[in-house]
Amino acid sequence: MIWMRDNFYILFTLVLTIFSCSGCGVAMMSDERLARQSNVQFSEMKRKDPVSKNIDYQKMIDRIGKRITDVAMVDVPGTDWEFVVFDKTEPNAFAMPGGKVGVNVGLIELANGDEDEIAAVIGHEVAHVAKRHSNKRMSQGVGVALGGIILDTAMRKKSSKDRALARGAYGVGATLGAVLPFSRTQEREADDLGLIYSAKAGYDPRASIRFWQKMKSRSRNKMPQFLSTHPDSGKRIEYLRSRMPYVMGLYNKAKKT
Query: Would you say residue 225 has pLDDT above 80?
Result: no
CA distances from 2 to 5, 16, 162, 191 (A): 5, 22, 11, 44
pLDDT tens-digit readout, 175-222: 444 444 447 688 888 999 999 999 999 999 999 999 999 988 876 555
| Nearest-10 Cα torsion for 195, 196, 199, 204 | 20
Instruction: Look at strands 100-104 and 82-86 and give their pairing.
Output: parallel
Residue 36: per-residue pLDDT: 87
Residues forming beta bridges with residue 83, ordered by sequence position? 101
Residue 143: per-residue pLDDT: 44
Look at 112 and 17; give whichever has higher pLDDT.
112
- Supply the pTM of this predicted model: 0.70
Residues forming beta bridges with residue 104, ordered by sequence position? 86
Query: Would you say residue 48 has pLDDT above 70?
Result: yes
Catalytic machinery residues:
125
Among the listed residues 256, 250, 246, 254, the one whose alpha carbon sits nearest the alpha carbon of residue 202: 254
